[in-house]
Structures are given as C-alpha cells and as structure tokens.
Amino acid sequence: MKTKIPFSVLAAALGFLVAYPLHGLITAAIFGIAIGTLAFVVVWGLESKMNEFTPRSILGGGIGIVVASLSFFALKAALDSLRIPSNIISYIVPIIFLLLFYLGITIGVRKGFEIDQAARRTYAKNNYTTPKILDTSVIIDGRIADVADAGFMEGIMIVPKFIIKELQYIADSPDPLKRVRGRRGLDVLKRMQGIPNIAIKITSHDFPRVREADLKLVELAKSLRGIIITNDFNLNKVAGLHGVKVLNLNQLSSALKPIVLPGETMNIRVVKEGKEENQGVGYLEDGTMVVVDDARKYVGREIEVSVTSVLQTPTGRMIFSRVKEESLISNIHV
C-alpha cells in the first residue's frame, strides 16, 4: 500500500497535467483519475507477486522497463510524424506509456523466472545428485542428520525459507513441548551444515498463492525436479498424487530393523502388563513392541523368550512370543 498510493497519485497528476491545457478542469480531472486507477491496478498486480521475485526475475523486469521505454519513445516519434491532433495524442500517450511499462516489466519478470528455473535445474544436475527437499517433520525428527553423518546420504539438501519460518514459529510457541521441538529442529539444521558430504541450501523461493506448507513443498519439488524427504504420511500421499518422489525416513527405519523369525530366542525386559490376561510387554532397542504370553508376573524382570509370530502393522511391527521353558525353570529355581 505504501508504494501503490504514491505511484497512483503521481500517475493521476501526470494525466491531469497533460489533459488540463487542452480540455479544461473537469475533463482533465476525470482523465487523471482514470490514469491513477490504472496505475494502482498495475502496481497492485506487481506487488502481489513481490515475494516470488528472484534476482534474475528482477533483472529481467529491469531490462523489460528499458525495452519498454525505448519502444515508447520510438512509438511516440512515429505518432508525432503522423500529425495526429494534439487533443487525441494527449489521451493516447499516457495510456501507451503505462501499457508498455506493464508489458515490459511483466514479460521481463516472466523470462527472468524461466531463466532462474533453468539455472536451478542445471545447478542441481551438475552438483552431486538430485536435490533433496527437507520438510519440517524430518528436520525436527533429527535422524536425517545421523543418516547423512554416517555417509548414507549426500548431495544438496534444500531448506525453503518458509520451512525455517515454521520452525521458528514452533520454537517461539508458548507450549513447552512445541518449543523444545522447534529448537531441536533448528539445532539439527545447524549440525547438518557441518556435515561434509552434504550441502545445505536455503532457498527463498516461495508460492504465495499456495497456503499449505505441504503443497508448497510439492510445488518446489516439481520446479526443481527434486525429492522430498519427510516423516509425514499425509505429505507422502499428497506428493505421490502429484508425481513427486518421496523418501520417508520411517520406511527406511522399518526396512533396517533386524528380521526376527518364529522360533528364535531373545532376552527381553518385561516393562508392563499387556492388554490380554497374563500378558507382559517389552521393547527392543529400536522401539519394536514384544508381547509375551504368561509373563505378567515377570514385570520388571529380564527373561528369555521364544518368538511365536511377527505382525506387520501400518504403525510398525509387533512381535509375539512366549516365555522360554528353560527360562521358566531357572526362574522357578531362583
């Protein structure tokens, strides 16, 4: 609004001054208001996309203005040579100027965007591998840093500014739990900047017309031909619908869990009672739940169990087992 009003007033004053000597006060005032309104619409259209501008698009807009100015003077000279009546010229000239100005800056900015996107794709292609775009959930989770630090992931990691703003918003939350999660995410990013086999790139590219952060990530991945790394199941589905590839760390974690077959034995600490009668529940180091039949009386103790079956659920694996007979005998003697 700060730039719209002064520019509109200036355009209105210019239109009034041009028309007043030839047509009088009322006609000049009407013409000035029309020119001012047109200028306001033009500036409003440009400012609504201001957040999308990149250095190349701004340069393209500047070149467009220069070309539009040169075209205006050439066209004005051609009109003067046609000996069109001055009262008509006074109306035509400001309209032509604003029209050329709008076309020049719009086409210039658009071409700047196209060059910028082409440069991003070339940069991504020539540097390491396909760019990987991090979302909020995977940054807060933190395991991405461990995976990269272990050398299993390399290349460009793209972090959009709107994701950093989201992390900052969470870090400033009045909720203590959210605040800790947000600060953890910022710490993870700082740690990843020091990992040698990856390059953290912060981009200001945004999509103001898209409100949801997930859809912005999808649009960014499409424009960069990149891959989204996330823990968010819903984002995984949305990206898939748009044809964007996703790496889900939860799926990676499940794939890396050791395979347990029926009949194998393991030592497990029974930490609580199960849902069914006489059941006990324990957990492996990776968080996998182990349900033990007839182990309710062993809560708080470590026992040896034999695996009976393994159940894969949408949230992970569950291992069902029973107390090994030798373990029962040793506990009876104890």
Q: How confident is the model at residue 139 (pLDDT cuts 50, 70, 90)?
A: very high
State the pLDDT confidence band at 292, using cuts at 50, 70 and 90: very high
- Residue 127 or 81, more confident: 81
Quick one: average pLDDT of 222-232?
88
**Statement: residue 16 has pLDDT above 70:** no
Give the model's pLDDT for residue 212: 86
Give the pLDDT band of residue 285 (cuts 50, 70, 90): confident
Query: What pLDDT was estimated at residue 88?
Result: 67
Determine contact, residues 292/267, Cβ cutoff 8 Å.
no
What span, in angstroms and rounded, lies between the C-alpha atoms of 164 and 328? 55
Q: What are the beta bridge partners of residue 323?
A: 305
* 3-12, 64-73, 81-90: segment of lowest average pLDDT: 3-12
Of the listed ranges 76-80, 149-153, 244-248, the one predicted with least confidence: 76-80
pLDDT of residue 57 exceeding 50, the answer is yes
Which is higher by pLDDT, 6 or 141?
141
Averaged confidence pLDDT in the chain = 79
> Across the chain, which distance is largest between two alpha carbons, in Å?
118
Proportion of the chain above pLDDT 90, given as a percent:
19
Instruction: Look at the block and give the residue holding tokens 């990691």.
Output: 157
pLDDT-derived band at 52, boundaries 50, 70, 90: low
Instruction: Tell me what the mean pLDDT of segment 113-129 comes to.
Output: 63
Domain boundaries, the chain: 4-125, 129-255, 258-333
Q: Give CA separation, 290 vs 251, 281, 294, 304, 328, in Å.
A: 20, 6, 13, 12, 18
Q: What is the mean pLDDT of the segment spanning 90-101?
A: 72
- Report whether pLDDT(332) > 50: no
Name the class of domain 129-255: alpha beta
Model pLDDT, residue 5: 63
At residue 153, does pLDDT exceed 70? Answer: yes
At residue 263 the predicted structure's pLDDT band, cuts being 50, 70 and 90, is confident
Q: Which amino acid is at 255?
A: A
Residue 227 has pLDDT above 50, yes or no: yes
Helix locations, 172-212, DSSP H = 176-192
Residues 226 and 131: beta-carbon distance below 8 Å = yes
**Cβ neighbour number for residue 331 with a 10 Å cutoff:** 14
Res. 260: pLDDT tops 60: yes
Domain covering 258-333 assigned CATH 3.40.50.970 in the classification: no
Q: Average pLDDT for residues 288-303, to the nearest whole number?
A: 90
Q: How confident is the model at residue 120 (pLDDT cuts 50, 70, 90)?
A: low
Sheet-wide strand order for 155-160: 198-203, 155-160, 132-134, 227-230, 246-248
Q: What is the pLDDT of residues 195-215, one digit of tens each?
A: 888 888 888 888 878 888 889
**For position 329, what pLDDT does the model report?**
40
End-to-end CA distance of the chain: 82
